[in-house]
Amino acid sequence: MIVKFLKNSGGGSAKATMDYLLGKDKDREGARLLSGDPELTKRLSDSLSFQNRHTVGVLSFEEVNLPDDYKIAIRESFESCLLAGLEKDQYNITWIEHTDKDRLELNFVIANTELTTGKRLQPYYDKVDRPLVENWKQVINHEYNLTDPHDPDKAQAVKTLSSQNLPQDIRKIKEQIGQVISHQIEQGNITDRKDVIDTLQQAGFEIARQTDKSISIKNPDGKRNIRLEGIIYENRQFNEEFAEERRRARKEYAGTGSERYRTARNKLQRAIEVKQERNRASFGREYQDYQREQKRLSTSIGMENDARGTDGRSTDRIPYSVSNEHMDRVQSKEQESRISRDYTKDRAITFGSQGTSAGGGSRERWDDLYSDDRGRESEKFQQQDQSRIGNQIRLEHERLFDTLQRASGHDGEKDLTASNTDRAIDRSQSSVERTEQLITATSRGIGKREQATSDHERQADQFIEISQEKTRAVSRGIEIDF
């Protein structure tokens, strides 16, 4: 099997391509639609504004036919490699089978557009994708035991297989002549170009033309001359050394089949990965979703900052690198400070010099409410500290348990010596002591926090008393310098 991409010179129409593959009236002999929608592919391709609007190619087999499950698997494999990184709903392809040339051909037509974006899609760049297609061909030929065009015995037939319009009878003549000439060379009956020509003439063929690389014979049916190409038709000597070289080459090629297969498969995998990255970067669903999400976030952030700017609030953005834990600590401190400030401000405004609110509430009741708020906040801080201490104690106990378990051999290792066990216990006790020191230090920290809260309260009371004294003095018309 070989893979060939057909030229689309001048950006020919997909309609003309489909008319050739299926026939103008869908009546071409030996043509069969395998998958896809020819009408959709044709309309989609011809509606594009690109110069090369579709890609046409063929998988050409020397075999007359293959089982349908082989054909399906080979087509699926080819698509997954050539269009790696794309989902099936992102491209359009039609497969058409030909069997009218006494061999199997799987023709494909791809519309050169990615369907979800409408962007230009070029399935095959020869300079870039040739290694991918070549290694895929070698892998498939090996896995399905297909004719290998690189086999030394097939060297003279490569151009025969690649000719898409070669009549069946001409192909058979070239194959039969090649087999006879090759056999005669290996037997030592043909040693040079003259012997090749003599053999052809003895078989009844008339020589029409000779070049250094080929020999042309007249067609028995009077049609166009038949050109024979390949190493066995070259103007050179075919001695015993040449025959031995061909036998050795054929033997070595057959013996390295598994190694060539592994090498081709590894190269193919790397080529697929490269193509996947290229296609996903341009058309991948994840990349498109990422772009849409980034656009949405950018728009949302912009609107949020615009709104923050118009209502007089700060437009400073918090950097993404600030951790949630750090922000929780900052917000907790700000909340604690805000409660104290709000209490001082509201207490002075609400009660003034009279000690009662407009609604008749007493200062003592207000103080009780503040004490409740302050108590709840203090309890919250203590719970956070206790939770953190508890986690640290739990980790220390787990380390102690693991150490003692290893010392007793429960982890499947050999029992430690008594001295090693003692040292492990000493280290564990040291860990416990460090944990107790941490608890003591944290308790001191809690005490300091409670002391700071008490200081806040005392300062608030002093401020209120000064404010009340100043209010009374002003009401008496006395100016006092505080």
Q: How far apart are CA 207 and CA 225, in angstroms?
A: 9
Name the catalytic one among 20, 124, 253, 261.
20
Q: How far apart are CA 204 and CA 219, in angstroms?
A: 11
Q: How far apart are CA 407 and CA 422, in angstroms?
A: 9
Of the candidates 55, 59, 224, 221, the residue with the CA atom closest to the CA atom of residue 133: 59
125 a catalytic residue:
no
Q: How far apart are CA 306 and CA 83, in angstroms?
A: 44
Amino acid identity at 81: C
Q: How far apart are CA 255 and CA 248, in angstroms?
A: 10
Amino acid identity at 260: R
Q: Position of tokens 């790397």?
A: 270
Helix/strand/coil (H, E, C) string of the chain?
CEEEEECCCCCCCHHHHHHHHHCCCCCCCCEEEEECCHHHHHHHHHCCCCCCCEEEEEEECCCCCCCHHHHHHHHHHHHHHHCCCCCHHHCCEEEEEECCCCCCEEEEEEECECCCCCCECCCCCHHHHHHHHHHHHHHHHHHCCCCCCCCHHHHHHHHHHHCCCCCHHHHHHHHHHHHHHHHHHHCCCCCCHHHHHHHHHHCCCCEEEECCCEEEECCCCCCCCEEEECHHHCCCCCCHHHHHHHHHHHHHHHHCHHHHHHHHHHHHHHHHHHHHHHHHHHHCHHHHHHHHHHHHHHHHHHHHHHHHHHCCCCCCCCCCCCCHHHHHHHHHHHHHHHHHHHHHHHHHHHHCCCCECCCCCEHHHHHHHHHHHHHHHHHHHHHHHHHHHHHHHHHHHHHHHHHHHHHHCCCCCCCCCHHHHHHHHHHHHHHHHHHHHHHHHHHHHHHHHHHHHHHHHHHHHHHHHHHHHHHHHHHCCCCCCC
Of the candidates 116, 117, 4, the residue with the CA atom closest to the CA atom of residue 55: 4
- For the annotated catalytic residues, the residue numbers are 20
